[in-house]
A and B are shown apart, each in its own frame.
Chain A
Amino acid sequence: MELTQQHFIALLPLLLASATLVTVMLAIAWRRSHGLSFVLSAIGLTAALLSIPMARESGVAGVTSLLLLDDFAYFHSALILVSTLACMTLAHAYLGEKPGADGFPGNREELYLLLTLSATGGMVLVSAQHLAALFVGLELLSVPVYGLVAYAFFSRRSLEAGIKYMVLSAAGSAFLLFGMALLYAESGTLAFTGIGASLATHLASPLVQTGVVMMLIGLAFKLSLVPFHLWTPDVYEGAPAPVSAFLATASKVAVFAVLLRLYLMSPATGDGWLTDALTVIAIASILGGNLLALNQSNLKRLLGYSSIAHFGYLLVALIASNGFAVEAVGVYLVTYVLTSLGAFGVVTLMSSPYNGRDADALYEYRGLFWRRPYLTAVLTVMMLSLAGIPLTAGFIGKFYIITTGVESQLWWLLGALIIGSAIGLYYYLRVMVTLYLVEPGIRRHDAPQDWGQRAGGIMLMAIVILALFLGVYPQPLLELAQQAGFAAL
């Protein structure tokens, strides 16, 4: 296959992100400067984001047999880039202005390098139409995250979380690789469509079934679906807050997008046993995630469990895979990313600048409303949005998921979803009311007075406005997701 100029234009976002990577690396080698490496990586990723409309015009879809750059890929790439940029902004606040008295004691510059690297991997992953691209993308996405989770390596919890994530993630990758090998042994090809076509004929062979199950296990590890979720709370708790935000948003978006593409393009769904297995996983994730979150007194752990439940909800749309499903996944991912960024953003700003441990215990938020009303308003809206209350973005997402469920008549899953939402309300409300309780005394952590004027604060305000705007007028988002949905079908 010959690469023309059009192909390069289609690849532009990916190329720009890679160029950013090299530039930032060289800049660090030349001279360490926190501000410079933040600005460089932010500009690079913004340029990649802005090049997406242009790349869409190029009119080529398949670039080599590895990548398929359609609207679906661009939609999710944009989502990954936006969330990475948001995490960078949070990280900038979190690490502190300059080394010395306050802020992060170690090197700060590499954090941006690792974030950019991981985001590039995510973009490869969402464009993959070939198992090789899937694996390369997935590893490029997760390997930098080992470093990110253990970035505060002098803190025991962060290091422990990093090692835990590395071991389990590597185990997940091994499963995935083994599964791919088995599928290849049966079908003789690694392209998604090729596998689908050849599997349509001999689906029932035990080799294929083992292969599909092993791949599913590998991806479920990354998405932390029950029963492969055990690493989630510890890693979310141990990782620095902006990294937890990245793990919860960009990393999961990329993996879920590729799972969806794989599920749609390889009709391994034919005879139903896979659907049954996914249904069980979905119900277990919804109920398990919500039940385990009930008694958490640590906000980061609570958000970790809540993300397990949210990906259970997303599986409902995946299983439905009817006319609305791809659209529903797109909309839900956007609302979920927005909300998680907001929630982790508040935790990050509360812990900024870094001073040894994050402000993640629930009691540190008690009565925050009477000290930081606007920051509290942000967290309140995020909690309501996670709970799916109308007039917030989260409701639109949940509305879409329920629509797909009703359309495909998945009553068991809908039942689990309703029960899960009811359980979920309890802990979201618990966080919310804590913010408003008037308690004298304890105020160990407090966001700096001028947080609203800094980049992180402005971004949080933008997120909350967007979350409310999409809750009230979701039409623009629905149109975007609809286009991405048409491309994938």
Chain B
Amino acid sequence: MILPWLILIPFIGGLLCWLVERFDQTLPRWIALLTMSLLFGLGLWLWATGDYSLAPAPDAGANWAVEFKYVWIERFGINLHLALDGLSLLMVLLTGLLGVLSVLCSWKEIQRHVGFFHLNLMWILGGVVGVFLSLDLFLFFLFWEMMLVPMYFLIALWGHSSSEGKRSRINAATKFFIYTQASGLVMLVAILGLVLVHYHDSGVLTFDYALLLDAQLDPAIEYLLMLGFFIAFAVKFPIVPLHAWLPHAHAQAPTAGSVDLAGILLKTAAYGMIRFALPLFPNASVDFAPIAMVLGLVGIFYGALLSFAQTDIKRLVAYSSISHMGFVLIGIYSGSELALQGAVVLMIAHGLSAAALFILCGQLYERLHTRDMREMGGLWSRLRWLPALSLFFAAASLGLPGTGNFVGEFVVLFGAFERMPWIVVIATFGVVLASIYSLAMVHRAHFGPAKAQGALPGMDARELGMILLLAVLLVLLGVYPQPVFDTTQASMNGVQQWITTALSPLASIR
């Protein structure tokens, strides 16, 4: 029974935030903080007590650490089917943690309609948790689409307008919504195709993950259905020709929106690939893997180059996300267990480091009221703590050993090398580019001659606490990543087995 509560807690908390707004302006913040702490706490409790050696695998079938099932729409064989394994648990933990941080980082930034803001924030996080737990494809799609609406409001109503005019945040929000919703419909068509093919073969109409895993698919159909899923995930990932919404959405979103977008929403796409696209369509995924990995390479270099060219500090971080997610994509499609685990570590590490960078950008904006790096410069002398911490996270983002990002990238490249040496060799150069744009960011914003005189207000305990917490976690992940590896080992092993089974007939032909 704990799984539905993980989803319900944010939704109920969000409603409460809205209802108490009329009594007090600070109360919603405390309720939201409590809600997210509860979610995070429950996640930690599950981690401490659960047995994560159970995970779906081809021969063992779908077994889970925790499972919940309830009949919902009988007509189509749709169930409220939730389940948890190591991978979903880590993602839920990340959601809880970043949820707490996004409430904290909006404490001063958001002053208008506080209750409604937190309603949207909580509902995004509730939807994301739903995505990480659902095992019924209908339910998964439902949550996948549902988190868009509050995100839309978050960007459209509390976002920053750029110099282009007042409507830019609404345009950014609309662009985000249309991109993700349209690609979602493609996925819905693919889901229905899969369900109906299974229905014609077996006579059972079902949306259940465990049953659909056994569907016998014609290779051509399998490839098409896999593409349907891939397109939806590619938009949110984002993979390079489908990334156009990301920089706009990030630049105009409030800090909490950017934190959730980069930290969690992008991860739902990677999660979807690992959980659904690979196990449901193993043969087609193996065929498609070289293309996906090349797309990953394109993402790494394109993101890095464009990141370097930005003058808006939030857009810089946004493009760097595209670059980092390229590594994740290579890890996912490399078909090696090690690389898959590396991809998960990298997802978590990027979630933490990107969140920290966006929070730092938000704090800079609160002080300077600009995100343009041409108007910054020399901040090191005017501002305590913040430039130094920025340097730390920039270093983490470029993959400095000792941080989680290094472990993630290293394990991805190490694991993928065996099967795809050339791709790995080229991807390694992306790491060099990462150091260029990361250091350029710090240099342009914090070093050089000061553009104005006078000290800026330093960081208060709340701001410093958030950033230090993230820094500590990132270093912990870099120095001792073993707990993460242990937790996801069984899940990744299962995914890897699916790919190996798909590979073996190919191998025997050779």
Write the residues of chain A forming the contact surface with B, with a CB cutoff of 8 angstroms. 384, 387, 389-391, 395, 399, 402-403, 405-407, 414, 417-419, 421-422, 425-426, 429-430, 433, 436, 438, 473-475, 478-479, 482
Contact A389:B178 (CB < 8 A) given known A406-B192, A436-B157: no
Assess the A429–B75 pair: CB atoms within 8 A. no
Residue of B nearest to A482 (CB): B75
Q: Which residues of A contact B146 (CB under 8 A)?
A: 389-391
Q: How far is the CB of A382 from chain B (nearest CB, A)?
A: 14
Cα(A414)–Cα(B310), bound, Å: 39
Interface of B, secondary structure class, is helix
Interface locus among B51-59, B179-187, B464-472:
B179-187
Assess the B185–A418 pair: CB atoms within 8 A. yes
Q: Which residues of A contact B112 (CB under 8 A)?
A: 438
Q: Which residues of B contact A399 (CB under 8 A)?
A: 188
Q: How far is the CB of B199 from chain A (nearest CB, A)?
A: 9
Cα(A438)–Cα(B148), bound, Å: 22
Assess the A390–B141 pair: CB atoms within 8 A. yes
Assess the B72–A403 pair: CB atoms within 8 A. no
Cα(A402)–Cα(B193), bound, Å: 10
Assess the A433–B192 pair: CB atoms within 8 A. no
User: Nearest 8 pairs between A and B by C-beta?
Assistant: A422-B182, A478-B75, A390-B142, A406-B192, A418-B185, A390-B145, A433-B156, A390-B146
A-B contacts at CB below 8 angstroms, number: 76
Q: Which residues of A contact B47 (CB under 8 A)?
A: none
17 extra interface residue pairs, beta carbon distance < 8 Å, beyond A433-B174, A473-B73:
A387-B181, A390-B143, A402-B188, A402-B192, A405-B189, A406-B192, A418-B185, A422-B178, A422-B185, A425-B181, A429-B174, A429-B177, A433-B157, A436-B156, A478-B73, A478-B76, A482-B75
Cα(A169)–Cα(B182), bound, Å: 36
Q: How far is the CB of B288 from chain A (nearest CB, A)?
A: 20
Assess the A389–B192 pair: CB atoms within 8 A. no
The interface bits of chain B over 136-155 (1 if a CB of A lies within 8 angstroms of the residue's CB, else 0) are 00000111011011001100
Assess the A421–B181 pair: CB atoms within 8 A. yes
Residue of A nearest to B224 (CB): A411
Assess the A426–B181 pair: CB atoms within 8 A. no
Q: State which of B149, B173, B186 has its C-beta within 8 Å of the C-beta of A389.
A: B149
24 A/B residue pairs, CB under 8 Å, sorted by A: A384-B149, A389-B149, A390-B142, A390-B146, A391-B142, A391-B146, A402-B185, A402-B188, A403-B196, A418-B182, A418-B189, A419-B182, A422-B178, A422-B185, A425-B174, A429-B152, A430-B174, A433-B170, A436-B153, A436-B157, A438-B112, A475-B72, A475-B74, A482-B75
Q: Which residues of B contact A418 (CB under 8 A)?
A: 182, 185-186, 189
Cα(A357)–Cα(B103), bound, Å: 45
Residue of B nearest to A422 (CB): B182
Assess the A425–B185 pair: CB atoms within 8 A. no
Residue of A nearest to B199 (CB): A407
Assess the A475–B177 pair: CB atoms within 8 A. no
Assess the B157–A402 pair: CB atoms within 8 A. no
Cα(A417)–Cα(B186), bound, Å: 10
Q: Which residues of A contact B142 (CB under 8 A)?
A: 390-391, 395
Cα(A438)–Cα(B74), bound, Å: 44
Assess the B73–A475 pair: CB atoms within 8 A. yes
The interface bits of chain B over 227-244 (1 if a CB of A lies within 8 angstroms of the residue's CB, else 0) are 000000000000000000
Assess the A402–B189 pair: CB atoms within 8 A. yes
Q: How far is the CB of B187 from chain A (nearest CB, A)?
A: 10
Write the residues of chain B forming the contact surface with A, with a CB cutoff of 8 angstroms. 72-76, 112, 141-143, 145-146, 148-149, 152-153, 156-157, 170, 173-174, 177-178, 181-182, 185-186, 188-189, 192-193, 196
Cα(A390)–Cα(B156), bound, Å: 20
Cα(A407)–Cα(B196), bound, Å: 7
Residue of A nearest to B139 (CB): A390
Q: Which residues of A contact B145 (CB under 8 A)?
A: 389-390, 395
Q: How far is the CB of B490 from chain A (nearest CB, A)?
A: 31
Q: How far is the CB of B110 from chain A (nearest CB, A)?
A: 14
Q: How far is the CB of B405 from chain A (nearest CB, A)?
A: 34
Q: How far is the CB of A363 from chain B (nearest CB, A)?
A: 14
Cα(A354)–Cα(B170), bound, Å: 33
Contact A474:B192 (CB < 8 A) given known A425-B177, A426-B178, A429-B174: no
Cα(A297)–Cα(B177), bound, Å: 21
Cα(A479)–Cα(B148), bound, Å: 30
Assess the B174–A426 pair: CB atoms within 8 A. yes
Cα(A395)–Cα(B146), bound, Å: 11
Q: Which residues of B contact A426 (CB under 8 A)?
A: 174, 178
Assess the B153–A406 pair: CB atoms within 8 A. no
Cα(A390)–Cα(B178), bound, Å: 15
Cα(A395)–Cα(B141), bound, Å: 11
Q: Which residues of A contact B156 (CB under 8 A)?
A: 433, 436
Cα(A12)–Cα(B181), bound, Å: 46
Q: State which of B74, B170, B189 has its C-beta within 8 Å of the C-beta of A414.
A: B189
Q: How far is the CB of A445 from chain B (nearest CB, A)?
A: 23
Q: How far is the CB of A402 from chain B (nearest CB, A)?
A: 6
Cα(A473)–Cα(B192), bound, Å: 19
Q: Which residues of B contact A405 (CB under 8 A)?
A: 189
Cα(A417)–Cα(B72), bound, Å: 27
Q: How far is the CB of A226 from chain B (nearest CB, A)?
A: 21
Residue of A nearest to B186 (CB): A418
Q: Which residues of A contact B75 (CB under 8 A)?
A: 475, 478-479, 482
Residue of B nearest to A411 (CB): B189
Q: How far is the CB of A132 from chain B (nearest CB, A)?
A: 37
Q: Which residues of B contact A391 (CB under 8 A)?
A: 142, 146
Residue of B nearest to A414 (CB): B189
Q: Which residues of B contact A436 (CB under 8 A)?
A: 153, 156-157
Cα(A429)–Cα(B193), bound, Å: 29
Q: Which residues of A contact B192 (CB under 8 A)?
A: 402-403, 406
Q: How far is the CB of B67 from chain A (nearest CB, A)?
A: 22
Contact A406:B196 (CB < 8 A) given known A389-B145, A475-B74, A478-B75: yes
Cα(A482)–Cα(B205), bound, Å: 15
Contact A425:B73 (CB < 8 A) given known A389-B146, A390-B142, A418-B186: no
Q: Which residues of B contact A479 (CB under 8 A)?
A: 75
Assess the A421–B189 pair: CB atoms within 8 A. no
Cα(A399)–Cα(B141), bound, Å: 11
Residue of B nearest to A478 (CB): B75
Cα(A429)–Cα(B185), bound, Å: 17
Cα(A418)–Cα(B186), bound, Å: 7
Q: How far is the CB of B207 from chain A (nearest CB, A)?
A: 11
Q: Which residues of A contact B72 (CB under 8 A)?
A: 473, 475
Q: How far is the CB of A422 from chain B (nearest CB, A)?
A: 4
Q: Which residues of B contact A387 (CB under 8 A)?
A: 181
Q: How far is the CB of A159 from chain B (nearest CB, A)?
A: 37
Q: Which residues of B contact A474 (CB under 8 A)?
A: 73
Assess the B185–A421 pair: CB atoms within 8 A. yes
Q: How far is the CB of B121 from chain A (nearest CB, A)?
A: 16
Cα(A14)–Cα(B213), bound, Å: 51
Cα(A58)–Cα(B170), bound, Å: 57
